[in-house]
Each structure stands twice: as C-alpha cells, then as structure tokens.
C-alpha cells in the first residue's frame, strides 16, 4: 500500500529548512503521561521532534513511511529510526507512553492510524498531534506572502486544509486533553523564509517558479542578512485514546 509521499523528492531541503519545535511544549506533553519508558514519534520526518522526546523518555521509536526522510535524520542516543507507515508499525502492544505526530497528522489514514495507536498505547498514555500552519513576520512581509498564499490556495491538498484548520475537523477519539497554546518563535533571515516556502509540498508540485515574483518583492522589502521575528502558532490536539 502506498502513502501520500509529498517530501521524499526534496528530503534534504525539508531537513535544512524546517523549524524545530519548542522544548517547553514537548516537556508539557511528556508531563501528561505517567510513564516515560518509550515514546513513538510517528511521521518523524528527519527526526526533529525525536531529538526533543529523547530528553524525556528512556527510548524513542521514530518512524516515517519515507526512507528518504529517515535518511536525513541525525542519529540521536536513545532514538531508533524505522521506515514504517503510521498505520502499521512494528511496536508491541501496549508498549508506548506517548505518541507524538509532529507536522504530519494531516497526511494519515486516520481510522487506521487510531486503531494502531490504541494498540500500542499503554493505559494512561497520550496521543498528541502538533502542527504549524500559517505564520507571521510583519505587515510588509505578511502582505507579500498573503498574495502567494492566495495563489496557492486552489492547489492545496486536502491534508493541508486539515492543518490550516488546526486539526479541528478531524474526529479524534478518546478523552481530549487541553494543552496551553504554543508557538514557534524564530529569528530568520529572508533566505531562510524562502527556503522554508520552497519546502512546501504544493510549491514542489507546481514548480518553484510559482514563487518568483513573491521572492522578488521580498528582496526589496527585506534586505540580505537582516534578521526578523517569525512567529508560527502551533495547533495541538491531544487525547487519551
């Protein structure tokens, strides 16, 4: 069975350009589970979340259906990487305290995934999905990027819309757990913003020339080497399945 493979073709760019997650958010999720023997970083990509989880759990099982994404992961003590789909993993029954889906939940087959998640979670364990959608810099930059967003909207995959909606349209079973709002705060140069935009699946699908005029305007509004604050609000859905 295949999987929605949106990133294998540019896995190195994805690894180099995507932001990491706030340490405090991972710590808050870890604090919500009674045991800390093992976490499952499902859809790990290049292992960004796995590195944070390794600070809170004795072992982290980090899996992704994309072999190309796993190949870009940096080895981390206590983390085992595996090429496996989210809906069929090799973990034993009731072996995981926390399941984290970071920036990937919108691509899953949700009924099949939840069946697998319930199988591997220990009693009292937690499932959490986190994802960053749209983001903000300042009025000038936001106006330029909004033009690009409007152009891309008709081409977003259904999964993209699930993330943009903050995962609210996904029926997550179990007892929902409220997690305080969080955001990624970055000091980026314009080149980093451009690399991040080029890593979007929709841009790769349409061709990177779709960004050309937007990037030209950005270069006028945002000089080389200048750092600006970039804020990415994080959507969180958490549940005891």
Distance CA 71, CA 12 (A): 9
**120 occurs within a structural domain:** yes
pLDDT tens digits along 97-143: 999 999 999 999 999 999 999 999 999 999 999 999 889 999 999 99
Domain count, the chain: 1
Instruction: Report yes or no on 35 lying in a domain.
Output: yes
> Is 207 inside a domain boundary?
no
Taking the C-alpha atoms of residue 235 and residue 232, their distance in angstroms, rounded to an integer, is 10
Global confidence as pTM: 0.94
CATH number at residue 121: 3.40.50.150
Domain annotation covers residue 42: yes
Question: Residues 156-160: what's their mean pLDDT?
Answer: 92
pLDDT of residue 1: 46
Mean pLDDT value of segment 57-79: 96
Give the structural domain span for 59.
8-136+157-185+234-240
The pLDDT of 211-219, averaged and rounded, is 97
Give the Å distances, CA to CA, from 175 to 88, 91, 169: 23, 23, 16
Structure tokens at 150: 């409007």
Does residue 171 form part of some domain? yes
> Residue 95 pLDDT more than 80?
yes
Residue 200 lies in a domain: no
Asked whether residue 212 is assigned to any structural domain, the reply reads no
> Looking at the domain assignment, is residue 145 inside a domain?
no
């Amino acid at each position: 069975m295949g999987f929605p493979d949106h990133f294998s073709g540019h896995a190195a760019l994805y690894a180099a350009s995507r932001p990491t997650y706030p340490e405090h958010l991972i710590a808050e999720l870890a604090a919500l589970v009674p045991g800390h023997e093992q976490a499952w970083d499902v859809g790990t990509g290049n292992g960004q979340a796995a590195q944070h989880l390794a600070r809170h759990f004795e072992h982290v099982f980090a899996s992704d259906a994309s072999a190309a994404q796993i190949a870009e992961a940096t080895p981390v003590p206590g983390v085992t990487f595996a090429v496996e789909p989210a809906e069929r993993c090799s973990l034993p029954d009731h072996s995981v305290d926390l399941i984290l889906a970071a920036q990937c939940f919108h691509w899953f087959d949700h009924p099949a995934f939840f069946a697998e998640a319930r199988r591997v979670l220990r009693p009292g364990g937690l499932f959490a999905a986190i994802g960053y959608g749209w983001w903000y810099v300042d009025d000038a930059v936001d106006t330029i990027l909004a033009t690009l967003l409007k152009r891309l909207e008709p081409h977003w995959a259904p999964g993209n819309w699930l993330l943009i909606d903050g995962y609210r349209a996904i029926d997550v079973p179990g007892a929902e757990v409220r997690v305080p709002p969080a955001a990624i705060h970055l000091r980026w140069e314009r080149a980093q913003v451009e690399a991040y935009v080029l890593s979007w699946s929709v841009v790769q699908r349409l061709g990177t020339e779709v960004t050309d005029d937007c990037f030209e305007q950005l270069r006028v509004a945002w000089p080389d080497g200048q750092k600006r604050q970039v804020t990415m609000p994080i959507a969180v859905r958490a549940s005891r399945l």
